[in-house]
Chain A
Amino acid sequence: MSNETNKITNKLVALYEDNIGDLFENSSDLINRERKIAIDYFKKTGIPTTKNESYKYTDLAPVFANGYTKFFERQKFNVELNEAFQCQVPNLNTHTVLFSNGWFYEKNLEYNSLPEGVILKSFQKASKEHPELVEKYYSKLAKSNDDSIVALNTAFCQDGFFLYVPKNTIIDKPIQVINLLRSEKDLMVTQRNLVVLDENSSAKLIICDHALSPCRFLTNTVTEVCVGENAIFDYYNIENQHNLTTQLSSVFINQKKNSNVLTNTLSLHGKLIRNNVSILLEDEGCESNLFGLFLADKDQHIDNYTFIDHAKPNCKSNELYKGILDDEATGGFNGKIVVRQDAQKTQALQSNKNILLTDNAEMNTKPQLEIYADDVKCSHGATIGQIDEEALFYLRTRGINEKEARMMLMFAFAHEILKKIRVDSLDVQLIDLVESRLRGEFSKCDFCNYNVIK
């Protein structure tokens, strides 16, 4: 570790030790057991540096060097968040889960309308009330001693959400998690989520941000998802914060036989965004769809790291990430696919396409395919280019001004990802958000725009 990262690591370890009482007191034994493993691992490794192959394109030192406050207990509010905050995206009908600075809002409405047997509650609470269930899955996919950002999350883990969908249960309405970030001081936020879908079940998760306090937020979120046999799971992560925020988001998904998963990571706004999506196709007949769209301008940085592990035969994965970088923005894409020896008849498609709008924008893309089986169909590819000049000229010859024509082409490029959204009304809303973002306008949903909760 260099001096600088050493200093950061020591500072984080000291923060842990100073608050060890609060951390241990309200958590279950299970969480605390993993916490110890995690902090020991983190002490050894520290925050990842760019020498680490998987963090080659993202330097975390500058954002971690900034000092952050951290809340080690649930904050109390003078306002009822459910009254003060309501997502008002037209026709988007969801089960809404509010979070405040990484904590499950304790007065979240009871989810009476959820099908019988579904558990949706604070992770902290769930780990005490359903220890067998949580024990079976917690830290199994996101190991405490494998990745230092995950270890950091596990060491500081206090709350998040827990979703359990029992056998043969279909949740029609998507579950929408809204992360409210409010603070007077720069704030570090840790959130740990666990999702378990039993056989033949189905659920859709939408993650949204509402971060309008003008301070630095650093959020470190880890979500583990176990998708049972024949189950269907959609995960939409809409990252739309502001020019001072850092988002580290790691999702680990484990797929059982014939399950179907779709992840769509939509990074619309943030100073530094790092997304890890890791999928294990553990059994036969699974299908995974990984989509991503990222838009960055000014000096923003967005890095997507994906890992798809084809462990068993007859599975399909389809991955498409697209990015548009303007000004001095930088981006990274690292897509690793491993096809194990056993995984015959695998079909794995991967593609990363990028548009750079200026000479100063920079994109690093690295598709990685490791194939140990011999009867597979795999492809990967990456492109980095500019707006298609021929298409631009074509539009202009029809009377469409250059700016608008560029807009149409950028939007068309992004639209390929937006049309993969399998939630009505959410697609329409995102089309609007992306369009206003591309136009350089303020791109928050109206309600989030006008209703800043203090």
Chain B
Amino acid sequence: MLSIKNLHASIDGKKILNGINLEVKPGEVHAIMGPNGSGKSTLAAVLAGREIFKVTEGEILFNGKNIFDLNPEERAKEGLFLSFQYPIEIPGVSMVNFMRTAVNEHRKYHNLKPLSAQDFLKLMRDKKKLVEIDSRLTNRSVNEGFSGGEKKKNEIFQMAMLEPKLSILDETDSGLDIDALRVVANGVNKLKTKDNSTIVITHYQRLLDYIVPDVVHILYNGKIVKTGGKDLALVLEDKGYDWIKNGNY
């Protein structure tokens, strides 16, 4: 599904990622944990195609394709989805228009006819139910005036609509109370199949109680310094990030 080899990236000449290696297979859930500033969000942004980050070395293959040959929209249509840590508010762009355009662009890419208005609305209805998003949110402009929790639910709703092969959830738990966290995690779990994969980027172990990872990686100073099973998250929770920072792992 995803193969990252020796990835180096920088912004404004400052190196953030220093040789990341990562393999994600279909059906797997990977968690990437790490202290603030370790490069977690940069990795997510580079995967999604944010141009402000410069890749200086390495390669990323997504379903066998060199990801650097694809622009952000092509990556999306190949099945990559990024759930933003801070979803953007776009006043004036309605959720319906946004999603209809996105869904139909995906369909066009895969040589499918655009959905009829009726089928599209039915799809919206079904997915809203699946991820337990309030109906009135989808009648508004994209994320405009949404609370932190509503924005995150909206990300999961978009994920449900677009049915990606690989979802990267960047700090999806930040700013969520426990109820919202449960709703969001439930949504992610319901969307899980044996063919799609998920990368959960998080600072805290808390989210991993709800979205259980197969593999946990610890990122520090732009490198994966430790990889283990789901228990690694618990060890980290117990010992704190100083354990990593002090190099005692």
Interface residues of A (CB under 8 A from B): 388, 390-391, 393-402, 404-405, 408-409, 411-413, 415-416
Contact = CB atoms under 8 A, between A and B. Distances in A.
Contacts of B109: 399
Given A393-B72, A408-B93, A401 B88 contact: no
Given A394-B84, A395-B98, A412 B76 contact: no
Nearest to B83: A397
Contact of A396 (B71, B98, B162): B71
Nearest to B75: A397
B37 interface: no
Contacts of A395: 90, 93, 98, 102
Contacts of A409: 90, 93
A397 B90 contact: no
A402 B73 contact: yes
B223 interface: no
Nearest to A416: B92
Q: Which of the listed residues B73, B98, B158, B162 has the most CB atoms from chain A within 10 Å of its own CB? A: B73
Give the interface SS of chain A, mostly helix, strand, loop or mixed: helix
17 contacts: A388-B90, A394-B87, A395-B98, A395-B102, A397-B72, A397-B81, A397-B82, A398-B73, A399-B73, A399-B76, A399-B102, A399-B109, A402-B71, A404-B101, A408-B98, A409-B90, A413-B92
Contacts, number: 75
Contact of B102 (A390, A400, A413, A416): A400
B160 to A, nearest CB: 13
A399 B90 contact: no
A134 to B, nearest CB: 43
B149 interface: no
Given A391-B90, A408-B90, A412-B92, 14 more contacts: A388-B88, A388-B90, A393-B50, A394-B88, A395-B90, A395-B98, A397-B48, A397-B49, A399-B105, A401-B105, A402-B71, A404-B101, A408-B93, A411-B93
Contacts of A402: 71, 73
B106 interface: yes
B97 interface: yes
Contacts of B93: 395, 408-409, 411-412
Interface in B54-112: 71-73, 75-77, 81-82, 84, 87-88, 90-93, 97-98, 101-102, 105-106, 109
Place the interface of chain B in its size category. 20 to 34
Contacts of B82: 397
Nearest to B106: A399
Q: Which 6 A-B pairs have the closest CB atoms?
A: A412-B92, A399-B76, A396-B72, A398-B102, A394-B88, A415-B92
B162 A399 contact: yes
B85 to A, nearest CB: 12
Contacts of A399: 73, 76-77, 102, 105-106, 109, 162
Contacts of A415: 92
A333 to B, nearest CB: 20
Given A394-B88, A395-B98, A404 B49 contact: no
A85 B76 CA distance: 49
Contacts of A401: 73, 105
Contacts of A394: 84, 87-88, 90, 142
Q: Which of the listed residues B75, B81, B92, B162 has the most CB atoms from chain A within 10 Å of its own CB? A: B92
Contacts of B87: 394
Contacts of A408: 90, 93, 97-98, 101
B98 A398 contact: yes
A396 B162 CA distance: 13
B73 A400 contact: yes
Contacts of B72: 393, 396-397
A388 B91 CA distance: 11
A391 B90 CA distance: 7
Contacts of A405: 73
Contacts of A391: 88, 90
Nearest to B76: A399
Contact of B162 (A390, A398, A412): A398
Nearest to A399: B76
Interface in B134-159: 141-142, 158
Contact of A397 (B76, B101, B106): B76
B171 to A, nearest CB: 16
Contacts of B142: 394
A269 to B, nearest CB: 22
Given A393-B50, A394-B84, A400 B90 contact: no
Contacts of A390: 88
Contacts of A416: 91-92
A411 B162 contact: no
Nearest to A407: B101
A412 B144 CA distance: 12
Contacts of A400: 73, 98, 101-102, 105
A298 B213 CA distance: 55
Contacts of B77: 399
A401 B50 CA distance: 14
A242 to B, nearest CB: 28
